[in-house]
Amino acid sequence: MALNRVGDDNLYIGGLMALNNKLALERESITHTLTVLRLNVDEERFKPFKEHLHIPVDDVDDEDLLQHFPTTNAFIRSGLESGTGGVLVHCAMGKSRSATVCIAYLLHKDPGALTPRGALDLIRRTRPLCEPNDGFMEQLELYHQMGCPDNVVDHPVYQRWLYQRAVQDSVACGKGPELDEIHFEDQGISNNSIGDFKEPVDSTETATRHTTIHHSAYPGKQKRLIPDATPCPHIVIDSHVITAVNMRPHLPPPTHLDAPVTFPVIIGSNVL
């Protein structure tokens, strides 16, 4: 039921039970609460607070919490700048989701001053149990790499990360990514760099080796049963770096499809 202070700000982290600690809430003058938890929120429970924000997410590796960082950062900053009290960030246990949001705020507050691991160490000084899951730590590293922008969803690094996740999910399912998940970018590749992969009929240059995404032929636990030397029969193309000039002529007109599109065999391999 404890509320633990984060750094020198009036920012606090805790679990769901911290909301029952009325003495601590009053002592720290908590006016803003940020719930990072997937649950049906009882608004009556948050009426004593001036402001409340709910981010419904699960504590799992593949949950996209990164997209919410600008919103949570703005809410925390607004609460701290109001000068009327403190901000409480909580999840179920005050361990993973709430810690991730607090780390994102610390990174955004002073970009370059802290790394994600350094921010986590700072929070652990008062709440040692904090441990974001591996997926959230990866997202924090990505956010730090992006420069902690106010607009995450339109950032090319975030878009590439989303597409790579879609590719990995598709490989695991044995199918290509959905067409509505594919984005084209008409820049970034010089003409003389194209030509590693060609369509066999007319030798049209379509992609280079740096546009492929490394992946496992046998994702998950199956990989342990297959020798590392076993090659994957698929080439996964990252459409973020393939120009529309080169790829659009090879794609059918936009339409609703009930089955995956099958591309020609290239160099004895399948293209996803």
Determine which one of 91, 102, 130, 148 is catalytic: 91
Residue 147, CB half-sphere, CA atoms under 13 Å: how many?
Answer: 6
Cα–Cα dist 104/120, whole Å: 10
Task: Name, in order, each residue with C-beta under 8 angstroms of 9's C-beta and a sequence gap of 6 or more.
Answer: 80
The strand pairing partners of 198, in sequence order, are 205
Give the DSSP letter string of 118-145. Answer: HHHHHHHTT-TT----HHHHHHHHHHHH
Burial class for 13, CB neighbours closer than 10 Å (0-12, 13-18, 19+)? buried
In the chain, the amino acid numbered 252 is P
Residues 6+ apart with CB under 8 A from 241: 185, 188, 189, 210, 211
- Whether 130 is catalytic is no
Pairing of the two strands 197-198 and 205-207: antiparallel
Please give the positions annotated as active site: 91
